[in-house]
Amino acid sequence: MKKKPLLVVISSPSGTGKTTICKKILKKHPQYVRSVSFTTRERRKGEVNGRDYHFVNKDRFEKMKKRKQFAEWACVYGNYYGTPKRSIEKAKRQNKTLIMVIDVQGGSAIKRLYPESVLIFMLPPSLGELKRRLKIRATNKKDDLEKRLKSALKEISFWSNYDYVLVNSDLNQTVRDVENIISAEKRKAKRFDINIWGRGQDKWRG
């Protein structure tokens, strides 16, 4: 019997801090993997192609869509984003914990496709603080920032579709909260493989 890998989705209004938190978690747990999405949005300063996203043009994205290479895709703030099916397939093959940092449409799609996935929703401490964080990141054009702020309330209304809700006030505390959720989810009885445990018991059977 093969164990199911843990699929973790993290969503939040843009600027809340989910990417920062995911990076910190991957640094502390190099055995976890992150799904690198494809996007048609422009690369921000400091982002690396293939590490943060696969940056592609609209043509290439459309081709991948037609070839059904995405597990899910969505248009977010005027750009296209998609989770490659192969990230999920690879994590399943290798029985790895996979983290997907995607929007609320993507979160709903992943839950439909993989009901055993674990969905974490992150909130900023306040809308004022969200604006401040978006401004600090500040590679956005002004209209983009407005677009992201305007969408925040609509995105927040999806919170009840998620399994967990965290308020990202203190960065290190939120990192610990996500680590604790993953740790508890991995220990759920439905993910325990009694056959693997049983193999180690042969020598005691006499």
Candidate residues 88, 91, 101, 120; the one interacting with ligand 5GP per rule CB under 6 A: 101
Distance between CA atoms of residues 94 and 5, nearest Å: 8
Distance between CA atoms of residues 45 and 68, nearest Å: 30
Distance between CA atoms of residues 121 and 165, nearest Å: 5
Q: Does 37 bind ligand 5GP (CB under 6 A)?
A: yes
Q: Which residue is nearest to ligand ADP (CB)?
A: 17
Q: Does 40 bind ligand ADP (CB under 6 A)?
A: no
Is the distance from CB of 129 to CB of 37 less than 8 angstroms?
no
Is the distance from CB of 192 to CB of 181 less than 8 angstroms?
no
- For CA atoms 101, 69, 151, 8, give the dihedral sign: negative
- Cβ at position 37, least distance to ligand ADP in Å: 12
**In this complex, which beta carbon is closest to ligand ADP, that of residue 111 or of residue 133?**
133
The site for ligand 5GP (CB under 6 A) is made up of 14, 37, 41, 72, 74, 76-77, 81-83, 101-103, 105-106
**What residues line the site for ligand ADP (CB under 6 A)?**
12, 14-20, 133, 136-137, 168, 170-171
